[in-house]
Structure 1
Amino acid sequence: MEWVDRLVAATCWSTEPGKLDWSSTERVLGTPLPADFKELRRRFPEWGAFSDHVLVLEAQGDTESVLANHESLLRSVRGNPDNRRMFEPFGILGASDESDGKGLVQWGYSLIEEEYYWLVDTSVDSSTWPVVARVDPLEPFQRLDMTASEFVYRVLTESEFSPFGVAATIETPYYRAF
């Protein structure tokens, strides 16, 4: 997990890796999550933020987990069909019978309303899912063909990683557990 190792080195993180159970999340979603992401959460097991900016959803929990977040998004788009427009052109995985195993699953966000998702296709290896992100819920998504940990690394270390990068204002990346 090259990008996870780079994040650990860049943030000087030294906490012992955790043991996380993704089985219920993967069962409900109907697909395994990317190994890179699971390793990222294993290596940074405590809830916290990268450079007080990027938050990565957890394996379990009532609010800040991948599954709880996904279920909340599903309730939102099912309860108010107008909310579906916010996720066009991709839609939320499982929001409709026509989704055919494709759609968005959120894996993280920033403290300034940026949103980070995978563009899931359950018929392909999850390691190939691209990241789609946007700087504001009203802005269009940008597709980035990279893993979640590469995305986080680039946000923290590349000042030219526009519009998501914070390296120009936060010179030394860190991880702060809450």
Structure 2
Amino acid sequence: MWVQRVMELTGWEPLGISVDWAAIEGELGVALPADYKELYEVFGGGVFSDSLYFLGHDEGLTFDFLTEWRVSLSVDQDSKFGEVSAVEPYAIYAPGGKGLVPWGSTEWADEYFWLIDAGRPGHYPVLARAHGVGGWHRYDMSTSEFLYRVLADADFQPFGIAHYDLGTTFEPGSSDAE
């Protein structure tokens, strides 16, 4: 339902991208949210409203969530940084554990993650933080509902961008989506 609402909001026609989700989920050691997979198959990775970056699976390209996750995990586990994490008080998800996996951000440095717990499959709360607003915000809603609210609901603070009147567009991030 929410994926459909995002499509209607942006006027986007589904791309029908084919993805080997079993391989991706095998590396992560956990299934990804079903609506995220549907969002990616419809849109691919790219930019909503010229400001919200949606990570898809475009290996090696700017909008690849798996590459973002690998880099974040590497930095989070690098001993030269000690016990400090860029996502305090959380950690970046490591296979079989509990932590954050990035799936989106904005040009204003807002960051969107899933809190994934391998012990609780099928449960994917969205954790978000807004640059300069302080602290984490937890949303027990799907990825697509969160995305829709950010794009369409000006009162969805501190993340709603509708009040900026940027339009509700989508620009694919790779040539695969064209």
TM-score, normalised to structure 1, is 0.87
The alpha-carbon deviation at position 44 of structure 1 amounts to: 0.4
**Structure 1 position 6 matched with structure 2 position 5:** yes
**Structure 1 position 102 matched with structure 2 position 98:** yes
What is residue 72 of structure 2 aligned with on the other side? Answer: 73
What is residue 144 of structure 1 aligned with on the other side? Answer: 139
Distance 2:43 2:83 in 1: 32
Structure 2, unmatched stretches of 5+, are: 174-178
The alpha-carbon deviation at position 171 of structure 1 amounts to: 5.9
What is residue 176 of structure 1 aligned with on the other side? Answer: 171
* Alignment check: 8 A CA contact 1:115 1:137 kept: no
Distance 1:137 1:41 in 2: 29
What is residue 55 of structure 1 aligned with on the other side? Answer: 53
Question: Alpha carbon RMSD of aligned pairs, Å?
Answer: 2.1
What is residue 117 of structure 2 aligned with on the other side? Answer: 121
Structure 1, unmatched stretches of 5+, are: none
The alpha-carbon deviation at position 138 of structure 1 amounts to: 8.9
What is residue 176 of structure 2 aligned with on the other side? Answer: none
* Alignment check: 8 A CA contact 2:126 2:142 kept: yes
Distance 1:75 1:138 in 2: 27
Q: SS at the partner of 1:104?
A: strand
* Alignment check: 8 A CA contact 2:128 2:138 kept: yes
* Alignment check: 8 A CA contact 2:53 2:106 kept: yes
TM-score, normalised to structure 2, is 0.87
The alpha-carbon deviation at position 54 of structure 1 amounts to: 1.3
Distance 1:145 1:164 in 2: 15
> Of 147, 158, 162, which residue of structure 1 is paired with 2:157?
162
- The amino acid across from 2:143 in the alignment is A
Q: SS at the partner of 2:104?
A: strand
- The amino acid across from 1:172 in the alignment is G
What is residue 39 of structure 2 aligned with on the other side? Answer: 40
* Alignment check: 8 A CA contact 2:49 2:166 kept: no
Residues 171, 94 of structure 1: alpha-carbon distance in 2 compared, 3 angstrom cutoff:
closer
- The amino acid across from 1:48 in the alignment is G
The alpha-carbon deviation at position 8 of structure 1 amounts to: 0.2
Q: SS at the partner of 1:89?
A: coil
Percent identical? 35
Q: SS at the partner of 2:15?
A: coil
* Alignment check: 8 A CA contact 1:25 1:66 kept: no
